[in-house]
Amino acid sequence: MGRLGVADRHLDLALIIWSMSDETLNPGYGAGCAAALVERTPGAVDPGRLAFYRLLDGLLSTPTGPPTSGQPRRPTVEGDAGHTCGHAQTTLERPMTKINLTVDGAKVSDDVEPRMLLVQYLREKLGKTGTVIGCDTSNCGACTVHLNGTSVKSCNMLAVQAEGAEVTTIEGLAQNGTLHPVQEAFRECHGLQCGFCTPGMIMQSVDLLNENPNPSEEEIRLGLEGNLCRCTGYQNIVKSVQHAAAHGAGATTSGAQA
């Protein structure tokens, strides 16, 4: 297959949409979008690709006519203007799952989509925006929170997986207006520059010190290797953890669980 044309890229995008969709709810949605684009851009698409998408559309759609005929392939969700290719979305509602958990010491109960990430739940449903998203691919550690006292990357697990758990975010670390000793150490040693990585760095450092109250410099660097600082302020971050250890931070637990 030669260089991808614009139409090919649109087809790929449509297929990605399809693959990310809940198959039971949106069968053929992306494939249908692809087919609609094929109809609009005949000749601009690699023939093998075109055959593939037509096959997919045939397998997964329940067409009522070409998307450009004015008849949507699927009924439209109330209030949904449909898709830009003229391919309307499904009427089926997304299934929700009830979750009960404790976040920063408060019990919460919510209906969430099974595919919702824990970090999304914390930020979008609970407004805990102190937990940030740096990569969404479990590389940067900016989204680190504690799950039952142990650090986890909250972009790497589903909200439903936190059912029954105690979650502590950076916002639950300080108690009654008093910074956690690790927060205090980062403030004291200037362990931050822009501050974007800081919530994750601190949550990971608390977990590190809980496991090893007197880590060597090498152990600190190893313990924080899953957390990236784009400002590259690692020297002072390590100093902050050393400072926290010297002041007994390892004897503390997550604030909300103390």
Selected binder of ligand FES within 155, 203, 206, 208 (CB under 6 A): 155
> Shortest CA distance to 30 belongs to which of 49, 46, 10?
10
Compute the least distance from the CB of residue 198 to ligand FES, in Å. Answer: 6
Give the range of 8-16, 47-55, 187-195, 249-257 binding ligand FES by CB under 6 A. Answer: 187-195
**Pick 56 or 155: Cβ nearer ligand FES:** 155
DSSP state of 70: S
Q: What is the dihedral of CA 73, 76, 80, 83, to 10 degrees?
A: 0
Site for ligand FES in 213-232 (CB under 6 A): 229-231
**Pick 85 or 116: Cβ nearer ligand FES:** 116
Q: Is 232 left (phi over 0), alpha (psi -120 to 50) or beta?
A: left
Counts for the chain of helices (H) and strands (E), in that order = 8, 5
Selected binder of ligand FES within 138, 148, 236, 257 (CB under 6 A): 138
Q: How far is CA 251 from the centre of its chain?
A: 31
Compute the least distance from the CB of residue 182 to ligand FES, in Å. Answer: 15
Task: Give the C-alpha separation, 48 to 27, whole Å.
Answer: 22
**Pick 95 or 195: Cβ nearer ligand FES:** 195
Q: What is the dihedral of CA 21, 24, 26, 32, to 10 degrees?
A: 100
DSSP E strand boundaries for 60-105 = 97-103
142 binds ligand FES per the rule CB under 6 A? yes
> Is residue 219 classed as helix, strand or coil in its secondary structure?
helix
Task: Give the C-alpha separation, 4 to 121, whole Å.
Answer: 37
Compute the least distance from the CB of residue 250 to ligand FES, in Å. Answer: 23
**Pick 7 or 197: Cβ nearer ligand FES:** 197
- The amino acid that residue 226 corresponds to is G
140 binds ligand FES per the rule CB under 6 A? yes
**Pick 102 or 198: Cβ nearer ligand FES:** 198
192 binds ligand FES per the rule CB under 6 A? yes
Selected binder of ligand FES within 65, 95, 195, 248 (CB under 6 A): 195
Which residues would be at the binding site for ligand FES (CB under 6 A)? Answer: 133-136, 138-143, 153, 155, 192-197, 229-231, 233
